[in-house]
Amino acid sequence: MIGKLKGIIDSYGEDTVILDVHGVGYLVHCSSRTLQALPQPGEAATLHIETVVREDMIRLFGFASTGEQQWFNILLSVQGVGQKVALAILSTLKPSELANAIAMKDKAAIARTSGVGPKLAERICVELKDKAPAFGSVDPAVVKLAGELDEGRVKGPVKDAISALINLGYGQPQAAAAVAAAAAALGEAAETGALIRQGLRELAK
């Protein structure tokens, strides 16, 4: 199996690059994010490679980082996500953004990807929720609140503050994150008004 290629950029396709390694041109499929990170034709480049072998073909997928490669494989574990969709998601979101979106159950962020509808976005969030925190940068308290909110277990001033921010036009994941940060700063006894004001400050950062 090919795990890494180092060579000279020969040419680019719509979602591919041909990497010349000692006179052999390897056709590598990449996300648009990786393609944008590569240099001009004639210059040296290195790609982390995932080799996919089928009965009728061998296809190479290239990644600028090991993080992107890991998420490619993680996404493929979800029913309904093929190689093309996985690359499309990684073209839309950085690995850290994807991890955060899954941790926060931000289905709308994932559904921005062409070919990913609301149902598939929700399946990705549900099936990968336990894997995302290891890759993301979201505060564990925010992840916990997002889960409680999704399950309808959030009550009192926190729930009211989140609803108020949503009514102001913020998405539920952003509102939950802001109120979680506000609650951490003000304490559990904070009233709705204080949480809203502090939440708005968090969103303005």
pLDDT the model gives residue 25: 96
pLDDT the model gives residue 76: 94
pLDDT the model gives residue 84: 93
pLDDT the model gives residue 139: 58
pLDDT the model gives residue 131: 77
pLDDT the model gives residue 143: 56
Which domains occur in the chain, in start order? 4-63 (2.40.50.140), 66-134 (1.10.150.20), 140-204 (no CATH)
* 92-127 pLDDT per residue, tens: 998 888 888 887 788 888 999 988 999 999 999 889
CB 147 within 8 A of CB 181: no
pLDDT the model gives residue 146: 59
* 140-192 pLDDT per residue, tens: 566 566 556 555 566 788 888 888 888 888 877 778 778 888 887 887 778 88
pLDDT the model gives residue 135: 59
pTM for the complete prediction? Answer: 0.68
Q: Where are the alpha helices (DSSP H) in the chain?
A: 32-37, 66-76, 83-92, 95-103, 107-110, 118-128, 140-150, 156-167, 172-186, 192-204
Cβ burial 115-146 (10 Å sphere, 16+ → b, else e):
ebeeebbebbbebbbebbeebbebeeebbebb
* 29-64 pLDDT per residue, tens: 999 999 999 999 999 999 999 998 888 888 999 999
